[in-house]
Amino acid sequence: MSSYKLKCLSCHTEITDNYNIVCSCGKSGFYRTIYENRQFNPSNENNIWRFHEWLPVKSPPIQKSASNGKESKSEAGKTVVYKSKGFAKELGLQNLFIAFNGYWPEKKANILTGTFKGLEAPPSISRAKENGVKRILLATAGNTGRAFAEETINQNFEVLIVAAKSANSRLWTTKEINENNVKYITLANGNDYTNAIELGKRICNEIGVETEGGARNIARRDGMGTCFLEGVAEIGKIPKHYFQAIGSGTGGIAAWEASIRLIEDGRFGDQPARLHLSQNSRFAPIVHAWKARRNQIINEDFRIPPHEMSSLFAEVLANRTLSYSIDGGVYQALSDTNGEMYAVSEDEAKNAMKFIYQTEEIDIVPPAAVAIASLIQAVEQEKINPNELVLLNITGGGIERLKEDFELIPLKPVIEVKNPQTDLVEIAETCIH
């Protein structure tokens, strides 16, 4: 049983979670979960529910086996953390730990949708169900949609997924999807992730569907934070450095918040991990703002127009909706941890991808390559000492490995629309029953 309150990070008032949280202060800061159990107490299960006491879900979901009717906890995967040998040696690092999120059965890595979004979907859907929410909508660049679609089967829930057509190759599941569970609304060619967000907002406001909440959703942040918790469970203390590629920045915030909880426990160290976060060099708004030590993103930080964003190497990082200046956002996380930002070129990321395949023998997704390239930059620039504890978040991988064991079933759109300004009547008739 998890018991928690939420703290408004604008006014520090504690409030009760009722899904659509609105603090009376009227400011728009993030809420942070304050768990009643301040002690880090993971169980031995090989799934995300081992961190249940630090997830905003009262009881982990129960699944009934179709073959024998036996009840068990839902089969959501988790991060696997191991000490790197080959790659660490090449870099000259003595204490490099890899947090691998994806599918790699030889290492017991079991996230079937291949990225750390598989950590966000299970607690998000559980929390929505516990609060009586019937369906949620999410706008996605692909990875999040895939993770939520797969999890609807584990928990028998309904999601509306909104994505641009360019995300199609990332939208698949390993199990047959029932149309009652997933309604995929696709935006025609020429639209991007930002257009998907815009259409998603309209559907929520005008048709009255609950939003999944994005970075504001505590279940997503704390779900993501389990990656860092897994690292500390394996290493035994808070690492000195933490590397991850970011889009909106939520992953960095989640690692920072996990650090804060572990410091309060008292047994794992008294300093948060230093955040080393990275973006594509062609689209690096947070890099530009942080290098200037600005607490605001300005238009000049975006540098490329929206229609060029789908041509980026790690397209899923190209997010124009950033969790940067908000109370509890990336600016505060970087300030509190003496953080660093890195811009990574396409060549650097591609080389990193090859390098990790040669040394660790696993395929990874483009954002993970950006994070690895940032670690290579940090070593070259002597920002870390060779014996310091480093946790590198490989945010996704093993999709090629997955194809050996599973058939990937593409999500089929129930409707295609031209642009975010489309009339919503047809969407309402097709998707809401």
Does position 22 interact with Zn ion (CB under 5 A)? The reply is: no
User: 331, 201, 206: which is closest to 275 by C-alpha?
Assistant: 331
Stretch touching Zn ion by CB under 5 A, among 4-12, 231-239, 301-309, 312-320: 4-12
The minimum distance between CB 25 and Zn ion, in angstroms, equals 3
Number of residues near Zn ion (by CB under 5 A): 5
> Locate tokens 């029932």: which residue?
178
The minimum distance between CB 15 and Zn ion, in angstroms, equals 8
Does position 327 interact with Zn ion (CB under 5 A)? The reply is: no
The minimum distance between CB 251 and Zn ion, in angstroms, equals 24
The minimum distance between CB 295 and Zn ion, in angstroms, equals 19
Which of 4, 6, 17, 23 binds Zn ion (CB under 5 A)? It is 23
Q: Which of residues 35-64 bind Zn ion (CB under 5 A)?
A: none
- Which amino acid would we find at residue 14? E
What is the separation of C-alpha 9 from the centre of its chain, rounded to a whole number of angstroms? Answer: 21
The minimum distance between CB 303 and Zn ion, in angstroms, equals 34
Stretch touching Zn ion by CB under 5 A, among 19-27, 103-111, 195-203, 276-284: 19-27
Enclosing H/E stretch for 394: strand 390-397
Does position 8 interact with Zn ion (CB under 5 A)? The reply is: yes
Smaller CB distance to Zn ion: residue 7 or 165?
7
How crowded is residue 105: how many other Cβ atoms within 10 Å of its Cβ? 12
Which of 174-181's residues contact partners 24+ apart within 8 Å by CB, and which partners? 174/112, 174/113, 174/150, 174/402, 174/406, 174/407, 174/408, 174/409, 175/150, 175/409, 176/409, 177/149, 177/152, 177/153, 177/409, 177/411, 178/153, 179/414, 181/149, 181/152, 181/153, 181/156, 181/157
Residue 141 region by backbone torsions, left for phi larger than 0, else alpha for psi between -120 and 50, else beta: alpha
How crowded is residue 406: how many other Cβ atoms within 10 Å of its Cβ? 14
Does position 11 interact with Zn ion (CB under 5 A)? The reply is: yes
Stretch touching Zn ion by CB under 5 A, among 6-14, 64-72, 184-192, 282-290: 6-14
Stretch touching Zn ion by CB under 5 A, among 21-29, 51-59, 240-248, 337-345: 21-29
Stretch touching Zn ion by CB under 5 A, among 18-26, 72-80, 271-279, 322-330: 18-26
The minimum distance between CB 253 and Zn ion, in angstroms, equals 18
The minimum distance between CB 35 and Zn ion, in angstroms, equals 19
- Which amino acid would we find at residue 104? W
Smaller CB distance to Zn ion: residue 11 or 292?
11
**How large is the angle between the packed helices 117-130 and 143-155, nearest 10 degrees?**
50
Does position 25 interact with Zn ion (CB under 5 A)? The reply is: yes
Contact 145, 392 (CB under 8 A): no
Pairing of strands 80-83, 71-73: unpaired
Stretch touching Zn ion by CB under 5 A, among 15-23, 303-311, 324-332, 365-373: 15-23
User: 96, 75, 149, 115: which is closest to 398 by C-alpha?
Assistant: 115
Does position 10 interact with Zn ion (CB under 5 A)? The reply is: yes
Footprint of Zn ion on this chain (CB under 5 A)?
8, 10-11, 23, 25
